[in-house]
Amino acid sequence: MRFLIIGGSDAGISAALRAREIAPGIEVTVVLADAFPNFSICGLPFFLSGETPDWRTLAHRTEFEGIELMMNCAARTISFEDRSVEIAVQDGRKTLRYDRLLIATGAHPAMPQISGLNLEGVYPLHTMENSFRIQEHLNRGVRSAVLVGAGYIGLEMADALVHRGMIVTLVGRSEAVLSTVDADFGRIVEKELGRRGVAIQSGTEVTAIEKAGALLRVRGASGFSAEAEIVIVAPGVSPNTQLVANSGLELGEKGAIRVNRRMETSQPNVYAAGDCVETWHRILERNTYLPLGTTSHKQGRVAGENAVGGDRQFEGVLGTQVVKVFDLAIGRTGLRETEAQDAGFSPITASTGSFDHKAYYPGAQEILTKVTGDRNTGRLLGAQMIGHWQASVAKRLDVFATALFNRMAVDDLNDVDLSYTPPLGSPWDVVQLAAQKWTTRQSSPVSVY
């Protein structure tokens, strides 16, 4: 049996490895448009900061026994009827046959409608090639940058460029940076950025980039203007589905490939996984588009197992995310209150601040936590956390994610047997103190206006 995979990033390589684990005798071929299989795109800001000086270390894994890699070969057309894929190779075109096919083409940047994006010194950041071009420009000794986009990549790049000693301006459209968390948490992040010298311009739509002598000028709404030697655009992403746009394959939300929970598409023997597909949301109980590296790995593993005769379901996502910005770690899982309300729940949210370990042991840091749950059922719906990056914010967020995965009530968290020692925690952990604050709020009388 030949298992053909289009795409060699998280989903594609995870599928290839899982298929070989289960069925070592099958023929696995991975076609990828670049020369960077299995590289961590999430690590690019740390390569550009100099904290990860060798880009080669971003590879998750470099040896693939029994897996044929066809690099720098772009898939052009798919014939589902003939079970074949035509690819562009160095000396022309080649047709590959398959018994099972996985489409794992990922996402591409959803570039904003801004004039001047093609100017010298203006770069998107999404691929390894992008990072090499940016690194080459930075190595010319530039000292100033404007970052367009205040999401995860924009924030990590602000950190990275300050680490290099640069003057940084960060421009974003949302009310506060990091629109995936509530605005008050975003404003805490803005204070940390400001403390490190980053100029923040939130709530601003960039409209143009233009030459200004030896510099670049970024213009935006309400008269905003900033000049720098380099401009890096860090937008969101869209599913990369041009390959199948007119193939008859069913597409769904935002043009992503529609799959079931076995990662099967509308065509027989054809699977899809990663940032090019819809994603089953465990709380909403429907498909959505939520591209994340962790999700791509899981979906690829499911697809690879099922392609060789397995029977596994993708169990869904919660939208668990975390980012480090200088000394802060900020994360979320599940639904925010507005999202829960839109989904038909009756949400209430409680906020609390607690030390990450016993205050009498040196170095205690406060973690701010928001817990959202359903007032009527007590079910946990989501959590947001922010605190010092060494205060185990991410792992505590994972406790909430585990509870959400198992559809626990908020109050159930108080019964979980969590670890404790004074240098690392408290008898009631931050997670449990936040849960107790929520249950107190739930039992409070509803205000009537």
Which whole-number Å values give the CA distances from 220 to 9, 70, 224, in the listed order? 35, 43, 5
Residue located via tokens 């100029």:
199
H or E element: which one contains 203?
Answer: none
Which SS3 state, helix, strand or coil, does residue 126 take?
coil
Which listed residue (1, 23, 42, 343) is catalytic?
A: 42
Strand partners, 94: 87
Count the Cβ atoms, other than its own, within 10 Å of residue 245.
Answer: 9
Strand order in the sheet with 27-31: 67-70, 27-31, 2-6, 100-103, 270-272
H or E element: which one contains 115?
Answer: none
Radius of gyration of the chain (CA): 23
Q: 275, 291 in Cβ contact below 8 A?
A: yes
The DSSP annotation for 397-441 comes to HHHHHHHHHTT-BGGGGGGS-----TTT--SS-HHHHHHHHHHHH
CA atoms within 13 A on the CB side of 99: 11
Which whole-number Å values give the CA distances from 112 to 202, 209, 255, in the listed order? 16, 12, 17
How would you class 185 by CB atoms within 10 Å of its CB: exposed for 0-12, middle for 13-18, buried for 19 or more?
Answer: buried
Which SS3 state, helix, strand or coil, does residue 75 take?
strand
Count the Cβ atoms, other than its own, within 10 Å of residue 361.
Answer: 12
**Rounded Cα gap, residues 14 and 6, in angstroms:** 12
How would you class 353 by CB atoms within 10 Å of its CB: exposed for 0-12, middle for 13-18, buried for 19 or more?
Answer: middle
73 as an active site residue: the answer is no
User: Catalytic site residues?
Assistant: 42
